[in-house]
């Protein structure tokens, strides 16, 4: 392999090209900065945005009068008192403007009588969620942003570029070191501002809705550079991920839009409405928030009232073929090709890891504690507190992406020269160019073990004993992974890529398990069976850092501000 790194200078480096990264690129370029948009996958095709099939929440008021403050109130309620109210407010205040901007860019939001249609989703007090028919929201968001990027000058795109570490001068972030996966080449990038738009960490779990690029890289990059993370214990489990029968070529969370439009019946093996025992009577409508539905399904399975594969039944049999076809025309045919006839059968669904509420601490400009480092999208923690409302994640990606782009451009314009020092890039370059390790770790097997540990011990329902077991296992796996990568570092050396992935996943997993163990209460997506109640003394946000003393835990004060509203 080539040991001389290729070097690139840019004003703004954006790591990750989902909705947040692409919106940031457009905003930074429009503000006059030179942008490098890097992604470990193809530009605009990796991560969650392109996979999202459902809805985007914004107080447009196009169907029913609405105001951002109503959306904000709903967001705070869902967040169970832990939202960073500055970020939640921005998300709700600026969401509608991003939706309109996307509309002007030709995304094709679904319309009724010429107005943008808005669906009612759980936790929202009125119809607020826009979408693109049929199950095309995320692909349309990605395609539209890719199109605008192509028409906007000043954005250099770099796919297949896995960022392995940030480079710092003291606490200032001055760029990054990357592996060009397709060639095996090492790359150094000097940047006046760097935006982490790397998405979430749901790949840590056995059952997930994630792509292979969502192993929490951004959280690990931030931690190693010295930036703190908040709310890492709050992993959102999507309650009705597809479980059975086998479904090929379709999104495992596709049942949510069915529920928005048609309601559907969620039942246990005895045919009882599943959530009724847990305080929500749906009567064929879609009213249950995600944390309550997840809890209900897990508990019904434990009580022996689950479906054959260990989940719940979801049925649209009562809706009839005409209603199903009107709502989901081509999707019904795709289901038929999977031998699923919704007029005659229920499907089985179960909770899957879906979204991460926690992440990098950023202010209203999306600036982190480290000069030169910004964050955007799902990588940012705090806006959604302990539980996210449906549709808030894409809004967050668009709003925070746009803000981060503007702020990064401003910083870049005010910074005369790059302060990147190649010597600071040396440790990461040494890893990239290390010779093959004989008898190195079996990374594929370790990946499967880690996902099992996280699912079984740090999943929807937790206990102190399970979390301690997880932390022990993670520590043991971290030792087994070793300090030097496996593989020979050539072109498409996926073993080496997997080693870098595990290095990040283990760090992110440790952060999640550690703060989950510390939070001795149940709140939102964090449910402790040994501490089943919400406890007012825990109305605070936990912060995790990596430093000379290893990983340490502290507290932030957002919750107090949110609670005071
Ligand atoms: C299946 C699915 C359906 C969803 N449906 C909805 C929905 O209907 N509505 C809603 O509001 N939300 C939904 N969500 C959540 C929402 O899609 C995400 O929160 C949001 O799109 C995140 O956008 P992002 O730009 O922050 O990250 P992503 O879109 O995940 O993009 C992150 C990018 O970073 C890249 N990356 C990661 N690490 C590195 C690295 N080390 N180097 C270089 N690049 C890197 C990845 O390849 C990826 O392209 C869904 C999520 C999933 C998984």
**Residue 163, token pair as written in the block:** 């960022």
Highest mean pLDDT pick, 118-122, 293-297, 309-313, 511-515: 511-515
Q: Whose CA is nearest to atom 50 of ligand 1?
A: 52
Res 284 pLDDT > 80:
no
Q: At which residue do the structure tokens 């929440």 appear?
A: 57
**Residue 47, token pair as written in the block:** 């991560």
Surface-to-core class of residue 3, CB atoms within 10 Å of its CB (0-12 exposed, 13-18 middle, 19+ buried): exposed
- Ligand 1 lined by 177 (C-beta under 6 Å): no
- 61 CA distance to ligand 1 middle (Å): 26
What pLDDT does residue 3 have?
62
- Ligand 1 lined by 39 (C-beta under 6 Å): yes
Q: In 319-350, which positions are buried (b, 16+ CB within 10 angstroms) versus exposed (e)?
A: beeeebeebbeebbebbeeeebebeeebbbbb
Q: Which secondary-structure segment (H or E) carries 558?
A: helix 558-564
Q: Catalytic positions, please?
A: 290
Q: Whose CA is nearest to atom 26 of ligand 1?
A: 377
Query: If you average pLDDT over residues 223-241, what whole number do you get?
Result: 96
Q: Cβ of 9: how many Cβ atoms within 10 Å? A: 16
- 154 CA distance to ligand 1 middle (Å): 24
Percent of the chain with pLDDT over 70: 98
Surface-to-core class of residue 303, CB atoms within 10 Å of its CB (0-12 exposed, 13-18 middle, 19+ buried): exposed
Query: If you average pLDDT over residues 442-455, what whole number do you get?
Result: 96
Q: Which secondary-structure segment (H or E) carries 375?
A: strand 373-375
Rounded Cα gap, residues 195 and 180, in angstroms: 19
Res 186 pLDDT > 90:
yes
Per-residue pLDDT of 366-380, as tens digits, reads 999 999 999 999 999
What pLDDT does residue 84 have?
97
Domain 435-537: give its CATH architecture: Up-down Bundle (1.20)
- 264 CA distance to ligand 1 middle (Å): 27
- Ligand 1 lined by 355 (C-beta under 6 Å): yes
Which of 82-91, 402-411, 465-474, 482-491 has the weakest average pLDDT? Answer: 482-491
Q: At which residue do the structure tokens 């705090």 appear?
A: 382
Rounded Cα gap, residues 288 and 260, in angstroms: 11
Per-residue pLDDT of 521-547, as tens digits, reads 999 999 999 999 999 999 999 999 999
Per-residue pLDDT of 144-178, as tens digits, reads 999 999 999 999 999 999 999 999 999 999 999 99
Per-residue pLDDT of 60-70, as tens digits, reads 999 899 999 99
Rounded Cα gap, residues 74 and 80, in angstroms: 10
- Ligand 1 lined by 142 (C-beta under 6 Å): no
Rounded Cα gap, residues 242 and 239, in angstroms: 9
Res 486 pLDDT > 50:
yes
Per-residue pLDDT of 35-50, as tens digits, reads 999 999 999 999 999 9
What pLDDT does residue 560 have?
42
Domain 239-353: give its CATH architecture: Alpha-Beta Complex (3.90)
Q: At which residue do the structure tokens 């760090």 appear?
A: 507
- 93 CA distance to ligand 1 middle (Å): 22
Q: Whose CA is nearest to atom 35 of ligand 1?
A: 16
What pLDDT does residue 420 have?
97
Residue 563 pLDDT class (50, 70, 90 cuts):
very low
Highest mean pLDDT pick, 108-122, 178-192, 244-258: 178-192
- Ligand 1 lined by 21 (C-beta under 6 Å): yes
Residue 562 pLDDT class (50, 70, 90 cuts):
very low
Annotated domain spans of the chain: 6-54+136-235+354-425, 239-353, 435-537
- Ligand 1 lined by 215 (C-beta under 6 Å): no
Ligand 1 atom nearest the C-alpha of 54 is 8
Pick from 38, 394, 507 the residue to mutate for probing ligand 1's pocket: most ligand atoms within 8 Å of its CB. Answer: 394
Give the chain's mean pLDDT. 93
Instruction: For the chain, report the end-to-end CA distance as a whole number of angstroms.
Output: 57
What pLDDT does residue 499 have?
96
Query: If you average pLDDT over residues 174-186, what whole number do you get?
Result: 97
Res 256 pLDDT > 70:
yes
Helix residue ranges, H only, 174-320: 217-225, 255-262, 290-302
Domain 6-54+136-235+354-425: give its CATH architecture: 3-Layer(bba) Sandwich (3.50)
Percent of the chain with pLDDT over 90: 82
- Ligand 1 lined by 48 (C-beta under 6 Å): yes
Ligand 1 atom nearest the C-alpha of 395 is 11
What pLDDT does residue 558 have?
60
């Amino acid at each position: 392999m080539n040991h001389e790194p290729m070097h690139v200078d840019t004003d703004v480096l954006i790591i990750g090209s989902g909705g947040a990264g692409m919106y940031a690129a457009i905003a930074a370029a429009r503000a006059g900065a030179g942008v490098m948009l890097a992604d470990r996958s193809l530009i605009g095709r990796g991560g969650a945005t392109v996979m999202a099939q459902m809805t985007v929440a914004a107080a447009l008021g196009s169907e029913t009068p609405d105001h951002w403050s109503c959306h904000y109130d709903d967001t705070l309620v869902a967040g169970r008192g832990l939202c960073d109210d500055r970020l939640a407010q921005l998300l709700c205040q600026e969401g509608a403007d991003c939706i309109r901007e996307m509309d002007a860019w030709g995304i094709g939001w679904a319309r009724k009588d010429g107005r943008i249609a808005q669906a009612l989703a759980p936790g929202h007090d009125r119809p607020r969620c826009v979408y693109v028919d049929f199950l095309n929201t995320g692909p349309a968001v990605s395609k539209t942003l890719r199109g605008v990027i192509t028409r906007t000058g000043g954005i250099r795109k770099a796919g297949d570029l896995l960022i392995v570490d940030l480079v710092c001068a003291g606490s200032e972030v001055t760029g990054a070191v990357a592996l060009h996966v397709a060639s095996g080449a090492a790359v150094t990038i000097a940047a006046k501002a760097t935006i982490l738009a790397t998405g979430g960490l749901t790949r840590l779990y056995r059952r997930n809705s994630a792509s292979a690029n969502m192993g929490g890289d951004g959280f690990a990059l931030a931690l190693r550079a010295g930036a703190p993370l908040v709310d890492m214990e709050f992993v959102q489990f999507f309650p009705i991920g597809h479980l059975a029968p086998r479904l090929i070529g379709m999104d495992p969370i596709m049942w949510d839009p069915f529920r928005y439009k048609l309601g559907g019946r969620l039942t246990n093996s005895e045919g009882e409405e599943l959530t009724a025992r847990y305080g929500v009577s749906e009567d064929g409508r879609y009213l249950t928030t995600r944390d309550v539905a997840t809890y209900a399904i897990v508990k019904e399975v434990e009580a022996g009232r689950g479906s054959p594969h260990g989940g719940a039944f979801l049925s649209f049999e009562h809706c009839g073929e005409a209603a199903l076809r009107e709502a989901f025309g081509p999707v019904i045919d795709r289901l038929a090709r999977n031998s699923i006839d919704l007029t005659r059968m229920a499907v089985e669904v179960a909770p899957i890891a879906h979204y991460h509420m926690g992440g990098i601490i950023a202010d209203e400009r999306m600036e982190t504690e480290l000069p030169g480092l910004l964050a955007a999208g799902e990588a940012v923690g705090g806006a959604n507190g302990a539980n996210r409302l449906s549709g808030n994640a894409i809004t967050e990606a668009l709003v925070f992406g746009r803000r981060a782009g503007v702020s990064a451009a401003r910083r870049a314009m005010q910074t005369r020269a790059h302060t990147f020092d190649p010597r600071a890039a040396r440790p990461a370059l040494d890893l990239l160019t290390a010779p093959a390790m004989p008898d190195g770790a079996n990374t594929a097997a370790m990946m499967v073990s880690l996902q099992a540990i996280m699912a079984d011990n740090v999943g929807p329902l937790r206990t102190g004993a399970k979390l301690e077991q997880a932390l022990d296992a993670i520590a043991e796996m971290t030792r087994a992974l070793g300090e030097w990568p496996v593989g020979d570092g050539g072109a498409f050396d996926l073993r080496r890529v997997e080693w870098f992935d595990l290095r990040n996943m283990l760090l992110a997993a440790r952060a999640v398990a550690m703060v989950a163990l510390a939070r001795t209460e149940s709140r939102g997506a964090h449910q402790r069976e040994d501490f089943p109640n919400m406890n007012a003394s825990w109305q605070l946000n936990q912060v995790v850092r990596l430093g000379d003393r290893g990983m340490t835990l502290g507290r932030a004060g957002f919750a107090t501000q949110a609670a005071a509203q």
